[in-house]
Amino acid sequence: YSPMNPRMPLYTDDDSGRGRNATLFNILLPENGIYRIFVRSFEDSGAGNYRLSIEPDSGLAVSAETSQPIVYSDQINASLENEQVVYHFTANAGDIVTILLDSPDFDTYVELLAADNTIIETNDDNGRDRNSIIRNFQLPSDGVYFIIVTSFNYDSTGDFTLELLDMTTVSQS
């Protein structure tokens, strides 16, 4: 809630974070003043412990300049040494992609972002074991997309394999 209108939520979220967690990313605060944050469960009957954190944004959005390129049919073997590794690819509206993220070392988590850094799809454990897969996702528009490779637990690191597959022709046959 903003100082300008303390009765109308400025931003809300249900579960765009990992699992069923709420996360607000890259929030631009429109004015100086005191902001209020209300925390509640989606269902009024929900109760339990939670963690709330506020972190200043570096102001650097994910971009082609701050990420590594990946193209269809690539299989990248790399290592997660920090919180995340970011890849970018260019696609057409209607392309159907599958993104596979596997690791023997950590519980994988993958995010697919549109060019404006909006998260459009995520996955935790739909792959084998603790691995992630975004399966047959149809891209909404032409342009650049970003794949965020990370772990379900932010502090986990290790080797991983990332694959980006174009399923468009497979899906249409």
State the 10-residue block means of pLDDT for the chain, 173 residues long: 79 70 70 82 76 66 89 96 92 97 93 89 78 94 95 84 91 54
CA angle, residues 91, 85, 52, in degrees to nearest 5: 110
* Residue 137 pLDDT: 96
Sheet of 96-102: strands edge to edge? Answer: 75-80, 158-166, 96-102, 132-138
* 94: alpha, beta or left? (left if phi > 0; alpha if psi -120 to 50): left
* Residue 153 pLDDT: 74
* Residue 53 pLDDT: 76
